[in-house]
């Protein structure tokens, strides 16, 4: 586990600082990412959680240099000390292959439909080890397919991506990532399109890939459960920013940002019976013309005047490495979601009226 300390200059494998991404649209500028920073030590795993539109995927794409040309990216992304932002496509693709591997939600974005999967893995291997013979590359491909849990890999090695199920394809993508022997794997919602039983297999495959290559992992997901089990540190994103970050246990057991607390309280749990969930009211703000102040303020039960005017910076909010972007982080010490949020459901008055009134007409024309 590491401390995010911008002053420290150490062997971080990936160091993102002040990253911001803007998309100009007809209606104005969409500020999808607003000053995101994280650093990843060798072999470490970081979970980035957030709901749709929080900017978690855009952050990953920006790191990989995969955003469309129209996007304006600022800040700094350093991979092993070398700046990635502003590199040409050619220079980047070298880094992408060797240093940072990416696993997307839809495996078909990284697989070529016209080549057998084994060929694609072998090709990757040979790119990195030009002295590898064709035969050896193929053998290694079979081995990798086996490692990520594909049954009878010797047969599957000649299959085309479309002949495989979604889970199988995702495993192939992970095998390709392993073939690159990367230092960082960025997995963007790798299991979102899959069934739970398959999700468990894919997460296992990711773990295997990490163990074999020693790569650090950035796991981007909306599923708090996945993060809980597979990462050392967590960053919670909301409206394009990291609003809370820290060691996984601190985030889950002692959240210091009302949004994180609200998320945990909204989650139905398998391991305990809760009477009522405590939803977060309202919806995330539009990233277009974002008003000043804390973006979570309109939905926040702790909101005060200062929240509408000043956006709180990430600051120390607990034990070492636990940062929160809330003016009142200290008030959340020891608070449960049910103490902070209301368990709103149906409008009680309207419901009572509805239950009492009879339908307007009984007869039916049919």
Partner 1 sequence: MTAPAALLPPLPGHGGTGEPVLQVRDLVKHFPVLSRGVVRRRVGDVHAVCGVSFDLHENETLGLVGESGSGKTTLARTVLNLERATSGSVRYGGRELTELSRRRMRPLRRDLQIVFQDPYASLDPRISVHEIIAEPLRIHGRYGTRGADEVRELLRLVGLNPEHGNRFAHEFSGGQRQRIGIARALALRPRVIVLDEPVSALDVSIQAGVLNLLMDLQSELGLSFLFVAHDLSVMRHVAGRVAVMYLGRLVEIAPARQLFARPAHPYTQALVSAIPLPDPRKERARKRITVQGDVPSPVRPPSGCRFRTRCPKFAAQLTESERTACVEEVPALADRGSGNPVACHYAESIELL
Partner 2 sequence: MTDTEAGTQRPRVDGEFTVRQRTQTQLVLRRFLRHRAAMISLAVFLLIVLWAFVGPHLWHYSYRKYTPDNSQPPSWKHPFGTDASGYDAYAQIMRGTQTSLKIAILIALGSTLVGAVWGAVAGFYRGFVDAVMMRVADLVLTLPLFAIALVISSRSGGSWYWIAVVIAGLTWAYVARVVRSSVLSLREKEFVEAARALGASDARIIFRHLLPNALGPIIVNATVLVATGILTETALSFLGFGVQPPDTSLGLLVAQAQTAVDTRPWLFYIPGAFIIAIALTINFIGDGLRDAFDPRQQRVRQ
Between the two ends of the chain, the Cα-to-Cα distance in Å is 68
Scanning residues 322 to 361, which ones bind partner 2 (CB under 8 A)?
344-350
6 binds partner 2 (CB under 8 A): no
Whose CA is closest to 79, among 188, 187, 182?
Answer: 182
Contacts of 267 (CB under 8 A, 6+ apart): 224, 277
213-232 mask for partner 1 (x: CB under 8 A)? ---------xxxxxxxx---
Q: How far is the CB of 84 from partner 1 (least distance, A)?
A: 30
**Contact flag: residue 241 with partner 2 (CB under 8 A):** no
* Residue from 19, 58, 144, 226 binding partner 2 (CB under 8 A): 58
104: left (phi over 0), alpha (psi -120 to 50) or beta: beta
CB of 319 to partner 1, least distance (A): 15
Site for partner 2 (CB under 8 A): which residue of 43, 116, 149, 279? 279
Q: Which is nearer to partner 1, 305 or 358 (CB)?
A: 358
d(CA 280, CA 273): 20
Site mask, partner 2, residues 87-126, x = CB under 8 A? Answer: ----------------------------------------
- Is residue 38 within the footprint of partner 2 (CB under 8 A)? no
Shortest distance, CB of residue 362 to partner 1, whole angstroms?
9
Residues 41-70 that bind partner 1 (CB under 8 A): 51-52
* Binding flag, residue 26, partner 1 (CB under 8 A): no
Q: What share of residues in the chain are helix, strand, coil (percent, to 5)? A: 35, 20, 45
Number of residues binding to partner 1, judged by CB under 8 A: 66
DSSP assignment of 302-365:
T--HHHHH-PPPPEE-SSTT-EE--TTGGGGTT--HHHHS----S-HHHHHHHHHSPPS-----
* CA nearest to 92, candidates 105, 79, 104, 73: 79
Among 156, 256, 299, 327, indicate the residue that binds partner 2 (CB under 8 A).
Answer: 299
Q: How far apart are CA 3 and CA 335, in angstroms?
A: 25
Tell whether residue 198 is a contact of partner 1 (CB under 8 A): yes
Q: 187 has which bridge partners?
A: 103, 219
Distance CA 231, CA 242 (A): 16
What is the Cα–Cα distance from 62 to 34, expressed in whole angstroms? Answer: 12
Interface residue list for partner 2 (CB under 8 A): 23, 25-27, 30, 32, 53, 58, 68, 70, 279-288, 291, 298-299, 344-350, 366
Interface residue list for partner 1 (CB under 8 A): 51-52, 151, 165, 167-168, 195-201, 203-204, 222-229, 248-249, 252-253, 262-271, 273-274, 276-281, 283-284, 343-348, 350-355, 359-361, 363-366
């Amino acid at each position: 586990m590491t401390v995010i300390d911008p002053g420290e200059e150490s062997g971080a494998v990936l160091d993102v600082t002040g990253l911001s991404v803007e998309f100009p649209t007809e209606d104005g500028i969409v500020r999808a990412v607003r000053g995101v920073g994280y650093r990843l030590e060798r072999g470490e795993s970081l979970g980035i959680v957030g709901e749709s539109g929080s900017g978690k995927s855009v952050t990953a794409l920006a790191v990989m240099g995969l955003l469309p040309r129209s996007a304006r990216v600022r800040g700094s992304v350093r991979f092993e000390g070398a700046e990635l932002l502003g590199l040409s496509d050619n220079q980047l693709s070298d880094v992408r292959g060797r240093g940072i591997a990416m696993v997307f939600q839809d495996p078909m974005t990284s697989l070529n439909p016209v080549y057998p999967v084994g060929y694609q893995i072998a090709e990757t291997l040979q790119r990195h080890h030009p002295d590898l013979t064709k035969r050896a590359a193929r053998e290694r491909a079979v081995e990798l397919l086996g490692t990520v849990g594909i049954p009878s890999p010797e047969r599957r090695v000649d299959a085309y991506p479309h002949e495989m199920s979604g889970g199988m394809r995702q495993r192939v993508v992970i095998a390709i990532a392993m073939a690159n022997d990367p230092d960082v794997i960025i997995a963007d919602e790798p299991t979102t399109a899959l069934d739970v039983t398959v999700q468990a297999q894919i997460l296992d495959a990711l773990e295997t890939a990490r163990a074999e290559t020693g790569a650090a992992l950035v796991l981007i997901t909306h599923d708090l459960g996945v993060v809980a089990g597979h990462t050392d540190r967590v960053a919670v994103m909301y409206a394009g920013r990291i609003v809370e970050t820290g060691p996984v246990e601190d985030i889950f057991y002692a959240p210091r940002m009302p949004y994180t607390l609200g998320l945990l309280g909204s989650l139905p749990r398998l391991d305990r019976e809760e009477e009522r969930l405590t939803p977060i009211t309202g919806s995330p703000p539009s990233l277009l013309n974002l008003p000043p102040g804390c973006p979570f303020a309109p939905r926040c039960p702790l909101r005060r005047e200062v929240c509408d005017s000043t956006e709180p910076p990430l600051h120390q909010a607990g034990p070492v490495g636990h940062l929160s972007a809330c003016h009142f982080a200290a008030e959340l010490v020891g608070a449960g979601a049910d103490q902070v949020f209301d368990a709103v459901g149906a409008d009680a008055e309207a419901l009572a009226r509805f239950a009492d009134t009879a339908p307007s007409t009984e007869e039916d024309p049919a």
